[in-house]
Amino acid sequence: MRRGLLAAVGAYGLWGLLPLFFRLLHHVDPVEIVTQRILWSLLLILVLLAARRSLPPLFAALRDRRLLLPLAGSALMIGINWLTYVWAVNDGHVVAASLGYFLNPLVNVTLGVLVLKEKLRRPQMLAIGVASIGVAILAASALTTLWISLALAFSFAFYGLLRKLTPVAPMTGLGVETLLLTPLAIAYLLWELGHGGVGFGQDSTTTTLLIVSGAVTTVPLVLFAIAAQRLPMATLGLMQYLAPTLQFLCGILIFGEHLSHGQMLSFGLIWVGLILFTSDGIAAARRNRLATA
């Protein structure tokens, strides 16, 4: 339990502080940042899989069409998510990005109902209703940045749905996704190299940061996998709000972003929805434990 809590804090803490890291690369094209992130992540993932003697399942998944098609879809979703996030951070929209990850759990529940035919309890329906009002207010008050929040929330939700429906180990799936994105990453870097715009190699600091982006991508995912194995889902669900909270604080306190009255009201309603949703999840988990005791 203690290791699980530490792993969860590490994963969500690193995700929450990502704006500080990517802002250091504000002078690099966001698409290049993502392509470098893919390539260096792939190297680290292959090393980790080799150390765990898990390369054979990776190669087996690449030959299995039933796994390859949904993993290609999840690779597309995570690629869209990464690109949107990096662009948003470097263009001064950290608060809008944080809102996307506040909305993500509620979008997950909605997809569960629509796609997996899961049933909602009344508190969950109330939570989604309150948050939906918040999104509607945000649409009216911050229309220019609403697409960022929705793109992040829906791309990560569809990513999670595809991974949930695909019977593959977390690291193996991540390895397949990264391999599928690698040809696109290499093609873009070759194109950019021909146009003289590659940031990699410009100076030692930029080069080092781009290499480190691979670890910044992979390490939180490894920590999350550890936490998911050791913690109850209710605890893990509650702790997931650490990341967007840290992102929100980075946007307001460090990068000096401002909230309009409409955005403040919207955030307030979305947080109320999240509190209702999380409280119901904790109560349901407690009832389940008592029923099986």
* Length in residues, the chain: 293
**Domain that includes residue 122, residue range:** 2-292
Q: Which of 11-15, 126-130, 143-147 has the highest mean pLDDT?
A: 11-15
With CA atoms as reference, report the closest residue to 270 among 62, 161, 130: 130
| pLDDT confidence tier of residue 293, bands split at 50, 70 and 90 | low
- Model's pTM, two decimal places? 0.84
Tens of pLDDT, residues 233-263: 556 666 778 888 899 889 988 988 887 787 7
Give Cα separations from 219 to 123, 156, 216 (angstroms). Answer: 35, 18, 6
Alpha helices in the chain (DSSP H): 2-16, 18-23, 30-51, 55-63, 65-90, 94-114, 122-141, 143-165, 170-194, 204-230, 233-239, 242-249, 261-292
Q: Which of 120-124, 159-163, 176-180 has the highest mean pLDDT?
A: 176-180
pLDDT attached to residue 55: 92
Structural domains of the chain, count: 1
Tens of pLDDT, residues 201-232: 678 888 899 889 888 888 887 787 778 767 76
With CA atoms as reference, report the closest residue to 285 among 235, 241, 228, 227: 235
| pLDDT confidence tier of residue 265, bands split at 50, 70 and 90 | confident
Share the mean pLDDT of the chain. Answer: 85
Give Cα separations from 250 to 145, 148, 152, 219 (angstroms). Answer: 17, 17, 18, 21
Tens of pLDDT, residues 36-74: 999 999 999 999 899 988 899 999 999 998 999 999 999
Q: How far out from the chain centre does Cα 149 lie?
A: 12
| pLDDT confidence tier of residue 282, bands split at 50, 70 and 90 | confident
